[in-house]
Amino acid sequence: MPFVLTVDQRASRRGPDRVADVLTQLNGVVDALLAFERTAGDEFQGVLGEPEVVVDVAMRLVRLGGWSIGIGAGAVQTPLPGSTRAGTGPAFLCARRAVDAAKQRPMRLAVRGAVPPDAGDAQAVLSALAVLVGRRSLQAWEAIDLVEDGRTQAEAAAELGISRQAVGQRLAAASWDLERDLRPTAVRLLGRAAG
C-alpha cells in the first residue's frame, strides 16, 4: 500500500526557499514510487511504497527542521502516473488533511489514513520520535552518523578524537537506543493505517 508525503516549508515568507535543496537530497537517496517534486510554492510531495522509507524520510525532515510533514496512508489510483502532481486517490487526500493538521501540531507532523485509529497511533509514535530527533545536539549527530554508517563506538571515538565512553554518552543523551526501539513500532502502525 503506498504512502503519500505532503510537506510544507514553515515560515517560507520570512526566509529563503529550501524546497529545491531538499528535493535534491531526497531524490538522490530515497527509493520512491513517484519522486518528490514541488507541487505548489513552498510545498512538495512524493509517493513511497514502504513504511520504513516513510519513517526514514519523516525523521530526515525533522532533523533538517522547518517543515510541516503530512503522511497519507491508503490507496492511490493505479496505474501510477509519471508525476506525483498527477496522482490521485485516498492517500493523496489523507496527505493533504495530514499536512494541514501538522501545521497546528507542536511537532509539525501528522498522519491520516484508511484506518483512523492506527493512523492516530502512528502519529503518536512518530511524534515521539520527532521529539527525540529534533532535540539532538550537533555532537550527538556526529556520533550517531558514524555509528549508523557502520563504525563501532571505538572507531567513532577515534574519528571524533574523543573517548569511547564519550561516544556512548552522546548516544545515550540522544536517546538513540529508544529511537531504534520506536522505529519498528512506527513502521507497523503506518502499515496498519494504510488498511
For residues 162 and 107, membership in a common domain is answered with no
For residues 11 and 42, membership in a common domain is answered with yes
For residues 105 and 147, membership in a common domain is answered with no
For residues 58 and 102, membership in a common domain is answered with yes
For residues 82 and 128, membership in a common domain is answered with yes
Grid coordinates representing 17 are 526557499
What integer is the mean pLDDT of 132-142?
Answer: 94
Which CATH number characterizes residue 125's domain? Answer: 3.30.70
Radius of gyration (C-alpha) of the chain in whole angstroms: 17
pLDDT score at 12: 62
pLDDT score at 13: 67
For residues 145 and 117, membership in a common domain is answered with no
In a domain, 178, yes or no: no
Q: What is the largest CA-CA distance in the chain?
A: 54
Inform me whether the pLDDT recorded for 1 exceeds 90.
Answer: no
176-193 and 116-134 helices cross at what angle (nearest 10)? Answer: 160
Lowest mean pLDDT among 8-12, 128-132, 145-149, 182-186: 8-12
Mean pLDDT of the chain: 93
Cβ neighbours around 180 below 10 Å, total? 10
What integer is the mean pLDDT of 119-123?
Answer: 97
Number of domains the chain contains: 2
For residues 63 and 82, membership in a common domain is answered with yes
Give the H or E element holding residue 37: strand 34-40
Q: Report if pTM > 0.95.
A: no
Position 174 confidence tier, pLDDT thresholds 50, 70, 90: very high
Say which residue the cell 577515534 belongs to. 158
In a domain, 120, yes or no: yes
Q: Which residues span the domain enclosing 73?
A: 3-133+183-193
In a domain, 169, yes or no: yes
For residues 104 and 155, membership in a common domain is answered with no
